[in-house]
Copies of this chain bind each other. A is one copy, B any other.
């Protein structure tokens, strides 16, 4: 069996997918999560990965390891990843030394997730796609002309920091205000609910601690405050998406991250607003929900390894 490991290093867990290929398509045969050791010595995490891989290989043949990290990556080098305390780490070089005979790829996690969600969807043949991840924060990845857009500072796709309010916007963790992230991330949705429910009779008052899931559930049950919150969130997200489309006019927009589990209940509202917001000549864009959710990163890592292996053959 020819194995490919897809490894997604997160701030809480390292997700590891053990894949084999069937006609160039990924078959996930096993999935593991191990707790991330947060330490400013990057070798801690690297050793976690290598120990795991070595322990699990048995008689299988390993053909590639794809890794994605929560930070910008350039030519296999991680430029920094704040929430795992990494500064610059030449991750590709380190792993290649440990496994000299196999293919190693390193990617940013949002970019890997974009590959996972795009290449294993019905839209795999489109050449321009954008992933917006709605989680604790808002991130993104962009593909143009079939190529990941890195940007001059490795910072293309900072979609959470598009300004949608010019004045009196909410303060963002980035230090600025009015950022999209403060309105459509999981925390932004809770913020919107806390603002809207003040002094109102709503089932949201039954919860001592709100989450975006509770808010969507209450909206689905037609609670009027929760419905108004979700509609505002959909509108703000549609503004962000229409701005992206007015600038780069892509074919496909994928909404990922935990919030996207709201599914078509959210997407249908976003589309309704989007059609009224985007420039009239931009019509053919598809907006869809992510399907792989937290597995998108490991699938994207598989994709990148498989591509490299196909190029070698």
Contact = CB atoms under 8 A, between A and B. Distances in A.
Interface of A: 72, 128, 142, 144-145, 147, 149-159, 161-166, 174-176, 235-236, 239, 242-244, 246-251, 276-277, 279-285
Contacts of A153: 249, 281-285
A247 B142 contact: yes
B151 A249 contact: yes
Contact of A174 (B164, B239, B250, B280): B280
A162 B175 CA distance: 23
A149 B128 CA distance: 11
Contacts of A281: 72, 153-155, 158
Given A151-B249, A153-B284, A279 B165 contact: no
Contacts of A166: 164-165, 235-236, 239
A247 B162 contact: yes
6 tightest Cβ-Cβ pairs between the two chains A and B: A151-B249, A156-B249, A155-B281, A158-B246, A152-B251, A161-B279
A152 B249 CA distance: 6
A146 to B, nearest CB: 11
B279 A155 contact: yes
Nearest to A162: B243
Contacts of A249: 149-158
A145 B156 CA distance: 13
A242 B163 contact: yes
A139 B281 CA distance: 14
A176 B239 contact: no
16 contacts: A72-B281, A128-B151, A142-B248, A144-B145, A152-B249, A152-B250, A152-B282, A155-B249, A155-B281, A162-B246, A162-B247, A163-B164, A163-B242, A166-B239, A174-B279, A176-B277
